Structure 1
Amino acid sequence: MKKSLLLCCFTLLFFSTVKSQTVPQKYKDLLQKLSKDISEKDPGTNLISFAKTMIGIPYRYASSNPSIGFDCSGFVSYVFKNFGISAPRSSSEFIVSGTPVKLENVKIGDVLVFTGSNRRVRRAGHVGIVAAIKGDTIQFIHSSSGKANGVTLTTLNPYYKSRFMKAVSML
């Protein structure tokens, strides 16, 4: 975000002060480097930054409205929609959406699909977005009807690992 702002400011300032059609090569190189740095940034980072602004919004069954709350898939679809990415509105639809990813290869911004609260019923019932990866520890952001009762960050702990079904990339 800071680099984008810097690039925009630099571009506006530079081109508003240049009187001739000739742009010095050192400025062209700097502009190209800034553009490349921004485009290579992990696309999931902005997605998660936006998602984190909603931490604490309460859980609300069948809702994708931040003014009243989110259910899990409502939260995930709302976050992706903000970036122009089409995502399912139902957690069960994530099983057949996106590109499958092995859990050991997930990236920030990938979607984790879980069973509902009964892990013995192997049917999708909950989703969250990978928010951080530190070594073997994965943290995801989701709207939970459990103890947190709303949008929260959770570590992929043994409880969620037992419910894990699939990871998919929507990016």
Structure 2
Amino acid sequence: MKSSLYIAFFVTILCSSFTLKKNQVEANRIETAQSKIDRDSIIVYAKQYLGIPYLYAGNDPKKGFDCSGFVNYIFKNYGITLPRSSSGFKNLGTKLAPEDFKVGDVLVFYGYRNKNIVGHVGIICEANGMHSKFIHASSGKAGSVTISDLDSDHYSKRYYKCINVLH
């Protein structure tokens, strides 16, 4: 009787170790997939939507994008889930120093009326610190997905932070 209990115990331990290893392998696979995302391919993918009209609450290239809908849509293509609202980026990630900005990082801006509320997001497409360019869905003059200069008066005054969402 005792020997069959020992065998059952041994089989349970053995099966558990295989399950743990399988879960660990899966976690490593996901982590590796994210680290292998080519930042330039994100921008190539995003640029195909240049000119798509701005649409409040939009997240569909057939209808239009708002800023967070655009960023969410682009990164979703790479298996990365980001907030659907620009305000959801306020406490997301760690603020990068300008010299650490990379293509594919997300820029977060305050609203143009209120310096306490996050109101806009975009993706760096040319990294050069505070002289970077970014692609975003603009409700302003462009009224569409466009590329803008971070160092323009309009955006430099509203800049809140830049975050890496690909680590």
Query: Counterparts of 2:153 and 2:39 in 1: how far apart (Å)?
Result: 25
The structure whose residues are more often strand, as a share, is: 1
What secondary structure, in the 3-state scheme, does the structure 2 residue paired with 1:100 have?
Answer: coil
Query: Counterparts of 2:100 and 2:108 in 1: how far apart (Å)?
Result: 15
What secondary structure, in the 3-state scheme, does the structure 2 residue paired with 1:167 have?
Answer: strand
- 1:44–1:109 contact (8 Å) kept in structure 2: yes
Q: Indicate whether 1:53 and 2:52 are aligned.
A: no
Two-structure CA RMSD over aligned residues (Å): 2.0
Q: Indicate whether 1:103 and 2:101 are aligned.
A: no
Moved over 6 A (4+): none
- Give 1:77 shift: 0.3
- Give 1:101 shift: 1.4
Compared CA separation, residues 153 and 115, structure 1 to 2 (3 A): same
- 1:103–1:166 contact (8 Å) kept in structure 2: no
- 2:99–2:128 contact (8 Å) kept in structure 1: no
What secondary structure, in the 3-state scheme, does the structure 1 residue paired with 2:157 have?
Answer: helix
Pick one of 79, 88, 92 that aligns with 2:83. 88
The one-character-per-residue Cα deviations of 1:113-154 (angstroms, maximum 9, x if unpaired) are: 001122x43210000000002476200000000000010000
* Match runs of 1:93-132 below 5 Å: 93-118=88-113, 120-132=114-126
- 1:99–1:170 contact (8 Å) kept in structure 2: no
Q: What percentage of aligned pairs have identical amino acids?
A: 48
Amino acid at match of 2:107: L
Please tell me whether Structure 1 or Structure 2 has the larger radius of gyration of its CA atoms: 2
**More displaced, 88-97 or 98-107?**
98-107
Q: Indicate whether 1:64 and 2:40 are aligned.
A: no
What secondary structure, in the 3-state scheme, does the structure 1 residue paired with 2:80 have?
Answer: coil
What secondary structure, in the 3-state scheme, does the structure 1 residue paired with 2:147 have?
Answer: strand
TM-score, normalised on structure 1?
0.71
Count how many residue pairs are aligned between Structure 1 and Structure 2. 132
Pick one of 147, 155, 164 that aligns with 1:153. 147
- Give 1:42 shift: 7.2
- 2:125–2:135 contact (8 Å) kept in structure 1: yes
- 2:37–2:78 contact (8 Å) kept in structure 1: no
- Stretches of structure 2 lacking an aligned partner (at least 5 in a row): 1-34
